Each structure stands twice: as C-alpha cells, then as structure tokens.
Structure 1
Amino acid sequence: MDIYMVIQQLYPSFSKKEQLVANYILQEGQSINNMNISVLANHVGVSNGTITHFCKKIGCNNFAELKVQLGRLRTATAPSVEDNILIQVSKFYQTVIERSNQLLDITYLHQLAETIKGAARIFIYGIGSSGLSAKEMMLRLLRMGFNVQSITDSHLMLINSSIVNENDFVIAISSSGETSVIVDATRIAKNNRCKVICLTSFSESTLAQQVDSFILVPNTLFVDKERFVNSQFS
C-alpha cells in the first residue's frame, strides 16, 4: 500500500492541523518534492513541528523520508494548468481506479458475491451521494434477478432495519463511515442477527467497526477537492 493509502487510512486519527497536511499531500503530493519543511508549513498554515509529527504518525522518520516515499510513486495524475478539461477528467478517474485497485481484495469480493447469492433479501442503505450508489447497485442486482431494494430515506431505513432477520443481507454505503442514520440502522440490523457489510473509506470509522466486514474504497475528495466530487465512482 503506497503512502497515499496509508494517509487515507489514518486520516480519522489526525488532528485538525494534521488533516490540513494530509489534504495537501493527498491532492498535491508531487509538488512537495522541491520544498523544504518550512515552505510546506507555510503553504499549509501549520508549524514545522506539526509536519514532523505527521510524518512520524504515517511511519516516516522525518520529512525527508516522506519525500522519498512520494518520489517512488509514479508522476502524479493531478490536473495541471496546461491540461484541457478532458485530460483533467481522465486523470482524475485514473487516479481513483489506481487507488481502488490498491485497496480492494479480490478474494473478499468473491466471498461477498456468494453472500449476495445466498441472501433471501438484500437491502442497500445510503444517504445523499451514497444513496445514488445504492440505487445504481440495486438496479444492477435487479437485472441479475435478485430480491433487492435500495433504501435512501432515513426514516424508512430505521424501520427496515428493525424488521430484517438472519436470512437477509444489508449493504451499507458511507464514505466517512460516520453517517449517523447509517450507523444506527446497521446497529439495529445487527441486533436482529442480519448480516451487514459496508463500503467506506475508513477502516477505523464507527460503521466499519460495528458491521460484520467492510470494503474499503478511496475517498475521492482526497484526489481533487475542488474540481471533481464523485464518490459514486470509487
């Protein structure tokens, strides 16, 4: 797993100032190769000590080692000012695909497929942007002949979670893993002995820690926060 993925996984444990450092590195990582620690601190708006502490938190002895780790990665795919919009979009999705490939375990995906095939009913929970992913997944599974329903309304989600049983299967989608209604609904479903998995970007999130298992996906806000916001893709 490269340094970008390490930073994403540890992100919830960072202080607010450390998250500023993480955001900058995840989005502009290759640009720091020609910076010293003071220049980066000035760019981000933190102290040199914060950056040093951040480096140690992600397994690097110092800022120089972080730069070496970043230098080992292929040239960043972040859009440059010379790129036209089509190239920018292509680079964005290429980065998301590459980071997804690092996180996904094909063996587990096969196991997940078997669980889906064996479930009497499948319910997919998602709110907001994650709700769009839930609806798309429902449509794909419906076409395959499964008994599946996406639930994107918070009240209906809580009602549904109270009536599922051990023969059902819940797939919860939350990039942050902290969406309160998703967390509450999956906890209720688990209490009813329903099998529950989630798709999230953070393994240490409340949601990931309370379900049977989780699938990690890249957080696309870390790829480009300003131009492209499309968590459905990952």
Structure 2
Amino acid sequence: MSKHDKSIIPLLESLYSNFTSTETIIADFFIHNNNKQDFSAQNVSDKLFVSKASLSRFAKKCGFKGYREFIYMYEQSFNEEVKNVGKLKKNVLNTYQQLLDRSYTLTDEAQIERIADMLVKYKKVYVYGIGSSGIVAMEFKIRFMRLGLNVESVVDAHIIQMNSVLTDEDTLVIGFTVSGKTKIILNGLKAAKERKAKTIIITSNNDFKLHELCDEMVLIAVTKNLAIGNVISPQFPMLVVVDILYSHFLNSNYNEKSSLLNDTLSSIEFDLE
C-alpha cells in the first residue's frame, strides 16, 4: 500500500487482550476479513452467532458511540488487498509498509508533543528495555544524548531493579516492551511511579491495566509474531516511534539542539581520523 490509510484494525489489535471471548470472535472477524460484504448488525450477528447487543458493546469498548459508527469507520478504511504469494523479498517489504501504515494510524501527534515537552522538563531520563527492546533503549540514548538530553539506557534486569531507588519526582522513566508483558519492565515502571516519577510505556498492548502504571502509553504497530522476531525485526515499529519523537524533540529549540548535534557529530568524525 502506497498511501497512509487510517485503518481501525491496529486499534482492534492493540485492544485485543481486553476483549471477552465473544468480543474476540468479533475482533477476529474484522481483523482477518478480506472481502467487502454486508456488515449490517443483523448479518454479522447471524454469521458469528453473537447478539446485536454484543456488537454494540464491542464497538463501545473500541471507543465508538455504537456499532453503526464502528462500521462506518471500518468501511471507510477498508481496502481490498491483493494477497502476495510471490517472492520473499516482496513479502518482507510489504510487511514493512504495512507496519508503517499502521504506525501512521496509531501515532497521536498531541501525545508525542506532550512527551517531547516532558523530555525537556525532567532532569533525569531513564529508558528501560530487555532483549530487542534493550537495543531500542540504547539507540534512544545515543540519539537523544546528541541533542543534550541527560538520558541513560538501562538494559539489564538486575540494574533495572536497583535503578528504581534513583527515581523521584524529577525523573522520567520510559519502558519499551512489544508485548506489554515483560515483568521486569512493568515492575520497573511501577516502582518508578511509586516514587513519584513520570512514566511512559511504549508497547503494542493496549491493556487497560497498563494505564495504571504509566502517565502515557504510546502504541506501536504490530504484525503476527512480531515479538519473537519472525521475519520482521521487532525493533522496527519501536524505532519508528523513536524517530517521530526525535523529530519533535529536535524541532523544539531547533537552533540550539541542531548546534549540539553538529558538535557531537564533528567530535565523532575527529576521533575517527
């Protein structure tokens, strides 16, 4: 797909863990559907053996006023895609494009602006990540420290635990976890919040319970088995979010930060000579 479609499928995928068994049946139908058809409440309820009331509750849990509004948005964004059965390279590139389109859908510009402001405001910034998410945390540190941010990446489970005592009301803690289920990251965010630090989670899992741990939840795009690195690197959608946040952070007080960036890059070039 060459254009950025405001599909609601990424929304359904992010909310998936909050659905009841009946709502999961409904979500699966809309996520995996490839054909334009009659999406009336009567037809869908008959097809899925669920009640119209279940469809209404499902739509409201997804943030819509009712099933009619949900279907309107679904049909607006629905594109009949041609299945790719050709070369592996094309399949991989199509998956990357799909992730980019979903990232466009999920990105909340106002939220990114708030977080960019938080990076400026807080004296200490810690970025937590384990495994593939740890790679993103280290990349975050390298990129943002070039713009003068006092940031440290913490990618060891034991150090994340110990680091909790260093957090306070002047601290911002950002946790990366694709699944939203990495206990050491969640425990680190919980401990930081208990010590009055501001907390942000960057994840694909819009589990309502996670909102209790964080002041901000930034959703990333996913495809099936992304967390285990099946074909597509799990870091990719997280790095997309980092890049968007980086551009906003750089844009605030651009001249000063651009000068810092040039100085750090010059320093690196000098050392390599």
Q: Same fold, TM exceeding 0.5?
A: yes
Deviation of residue 186 (structure 1)?
0.9
Are the equivalent residues in 2 in contact too, given 1:122–1:149 (CA < 8 A)? yes
Pair 1:211–1:116, CA change in 2 (3 A): same
Partner of 1:192: 195
Name the aligned partner's letter for residue 197 of structure 2.
Answer: C
Identity, % of aligned pairs? 24
Q: TM-score, normalised by structure 1?
A: 0.75
How far off its partner does 1:102 sit?
Answer: 1.4
* 8 Å contact kept, 1:134–1:173: yes
Q: Is the 8 A contact 2:226 2:233 kept in 1?
A: no
> C-alpha root-mean-square deviation of aligned residues, in Å?
3.5
2:268 is matched with none
Establish whether residue 213 from structure 1 lines up as the match of residue 216 from structure 2.
yes
Q: 1:11 aligns with which of 13, 16, 21?
A: 16
SS in 2 for 1:162: helix
Deviates more, 1:212-221 or 1:71-80: 71-80
- The CA distance in 1 between the partners of 2:15 and 2:212, in whole Å, is 14
1:88 equivalent in structure 2: 91
Q: How does 1:23-172 map to 2 (within 5 A)?
A: 25-26=30-31, 28-30=32-34, 48-49=48-49, 55-56=55-56, 57-58=58-59, 72-75=76-79, 80-81=84-85, 83-172=86-175
Alpha-carbon contact 2:228-2:234 (below 8 Å) kept = no
**Rounded Cα–Cα distance in structure 1 between residues aligned with 2:50 and 2:234:** 29
Q: TM-score, normalised by structure 2?
A: 0.65
Any unmatched runs of 5+ in structure 2? Answer: 1-5, 39-46, 61-65, 238-273
**8 Å contact from structure 2 (residues 179, 227) kept in 1:** no
Of 185-194 and 114-123, more deviation after overlay is shown by 114-123
- Counterpart CA distance in 1 for 2:194 and 2:132 is 27
Report which of the two structures shows the higher radius of gyration computed on alpha carbons. 2
Residue 183 of structure 1 deviates from its aligned partner by 1.5
How many corresponding residue pairs? 219
Secondary structure (helix, strand or coil) at the match of 1:75 reads coil
Amino acid of the structure 1 residue aligned with 2:33: G
Post-superposition offset of 1:21: 6.7
- Give the match's secondary structure for 1:196: strand
